[in-house]
Amino acid sequence: MEQLVETLNIDLEQERKDILKKYRRLLRTAKPFLKDNDAKLIKKAFYTSVEAHKDMRRRSGEPYIYHPLAVAQIVVEEIGLGTTGIVSALLHDVVEDTDMRIEDIDRLFGKKVAKIIDGLTKISGRFEYGTSQQAENFRKMLLTLSDDVRVILVKLADRLHNMRTLDSMPRDKQLKIASETIFIYAPLAHRLGLYSIKSELEELYLKYTEPQEYRAISRKLRETKSSRDRFISKFTEPIAEDLEKAGLNYIIKGRPKSIYSIWNKMRKQNKPFEEIYDLFAIRIVLESPQEGDREKALCWQAYSIVTDHYKPNPDRLKDFLSTPRANGYQSLHSTVMSKSGQWVEVQIRTSRMDEIAEKGYAAHWKYKGNDTKVRGNIEQWISQVRETLETGSGDKTAAIEFLDEFRTNLFNEEVFVFTPKGELKVLQSGATALDFAFDIHSEVGVHCMAAKVGGILVPISYVLSNGDQIEIITSNKQKPTEDWLRIVRTSKARARIKDFLKEDNKRYETDGRQLVEKKLKVLGIELTAEVVNQLRAFFESKTAADFFYKIGKGYVQFDELKRFKRDKEAKERKAVTAAVIPPIEGADGKTYTKLLKNIHGDRADSDTLLIGDDMDKIDYKLAPCCNPIAGDDVFGFVTINEGIKIHRTTCPNAAELMSKHGNRIIKAKWESNKDEAFLAGLYISGTDRVGLINDVTRIISNELHINMRGLTIDTKDGVFNGDIRLYVQDTRHLDILISKLEQVEGVYNVQRFDTNLTGSV
């Protein structure tokens, strides 16, 4: 430690002053929330954390205590939690990173804090192959959510500070952490109503995964700021005058869309920045007595004033006043046409609603008296999470399955429907009559055979619409089938169906295992764990249980087991004679990193797969989902039985792979000097004219000498759209081609696409 201090030339006295300064700032911010002995408890937590982390530093070289102090500051200032949240934030890493135990926390700070810290502490120990450590950690944390939502709120603060300080991390760690953030934590912040935190997490994700795009959009927003400000000022002037006349207390905020949402829109609509017109929104925040009906009336009054001046789009009016989102979000949204011909989104809400929109779940406790309805919606969602956790199976894929189920519910909007007696039920958008049946009761769901909507008979697959009144028709003879899993959308229904099917299928699994063991004995193969994994992969089954079930049901015949034996022996012979290291069954990222270090020796990037140079040493393939080409920012993913696949960091699957299987990610970069051709795809559009195709193909074939694999152009009413598949040397070669094609008369847009190039776009 002393050596590190000398090496970094650290002023310890100055650091001590900075630590105390941060601590005093935390106390000043928390002062309005503190009661009785709260300040003493926070002080005790602070000094406990300082002592526990005294010999630790962050990767940036800063004292580790800066991190828990920053997390506690976010917890109180940006989320609005009280003393228990602050104490938990200060202590959130002590059990994981120091000698302190949960029992010590319980003794010093009580059961509530201990429970939260336990939920935040990562699971230690070795994980079986096929599980995801991140998913397992997340599942454990959510188990505590059932008792105390502050676990998640502190975790979000922890993640936000880690993202804010990601600069000091190496590139591969930045990508893993950012991907996990966009995959789970940003949607979770959205679900809990923490919109400002959700937006910042999204922007930081983009900053580290797409730095060039992030900087380009950021620069363009700065360049257009003065013109946007003038537009907002002119737009809001007549509204402000009428709000004054009506005697309303208000604040009008003009805000640009986030860089992430602009980037998302550009990507989805295939449009440049200059053609994204709804770059900003206007928010009108009204001061109001905290009475439900009075608040709504004021919001509608302000809406009337806005529409006196600007024509609203009737299809874009969203009333979240009467039916708040499940996370408690309340606001009135409308999109209106400005005098200059631009659409502007206008959000109208009260100051209470605005605080809830910014601070989400935590803010509800400030308004306990009149906020029971919206708080109840969130608690209903937490109850659903609890049910999903309780019904999860104990096998090794349970955590990943749970993560998939949980994540599908995070960003979904709600649908509002009624029982025959008029009771309101809120389900996720896209839910079916079968989901509704399981929401009523598991027994109703299991025996559901049809439904009536408005007195009309509909199938169980009927997708619910707002305002539907549903009556479920049951039969004791009805029981779930595997097809039902394709019908339902909610995790509750899916979990119940899986439980029923699992029970029903157990005997087939048992029969299947016994049958395989007997048949393999005849073939001279012992049924070890490795062989089970090989069988699962060979017969394309998701789990070993699925494979044994197929055997038990008679879907796999004895002759196919003979084919498995031949394939296994051929692979083993190939492995003995091949110079290239073949795929290693059951390997993870660490296995291959160790292998690469042995291959590369002492060079600086010895833990990195060198694409091109390592081709004759280790087996890898380019992933067809994103078609990487030389020059792309890439990573390696260790598959279960196909070796390493190279993906672009911007691959549609990258965030999921890094979030769920971070232990199977390895570093990779292009290193080959050989002339290689990579298949790439370009989307091209514009206005049609005679000779256009000839000009495009001339640039590709004659000027740049690029081989085309395919060209498809579709023309309609003077506009053409098409895609070109061609072979390029690297990203620089592709960029030159795109630049030249954009200069062709009539060409409007040229953009690379990633979708599997071997099939259709």
Q: Which residues are catalytic?
A: 96-97
C-alpha dihedral over 160, 164, 170, 173, to 10 degrees? 10
The whole-angstrom distance between residue 41's C-alpha and the CA centroid of its chain comes to: 36
Angle (deg, nearest 10), helices 150-164 and 111-120? 50
Residues 6+ positions from 92 with CB-CB distance below 8 Å: 68, 71, 117, 120, 154, 158
Give the integer Cα–Cα distance in Å for 532 and 568: 12
Site of tokens 């000094």? 47
Q: Which of 533, 504, 492 is nearest to 402 (CA)?
A: 492
Give the integer Cα–Cα distance in Å for 71 and 30: 13
Q: Count how many residues are written for the chain.
A: 761
| Biggest alpha carbon–alpha carbon distance for the chain | 92
Burial classification of residue 679, based on how many CB atoms lie within 10 Å of its CB (0-12 exposed, 13-18 middle, 19 or more buried): middle
Please report, in angstroms and rounded to a whole number, the separation of the first and last CA atoms in the chain.
56
Other C-beta atoms closer than 10 Å to the C-beta of 515 total 17
Burial classification of residue 657, based on how many CB atoms lie within 10 Å of its CB (0-12 exposed, 13-18 middle, 19 or more buried): buried
Q: What is the DSSP code string of 93-125?
A: THHHHSS--HHHHHHHH-HHHHHHHHHHSPPPS
Q: Which residues of 621-646 are buried (b: 16+ CB within 10 A; e: fewer)?
A: ebbeebbbbbbbbbbbbbbbeebbbb
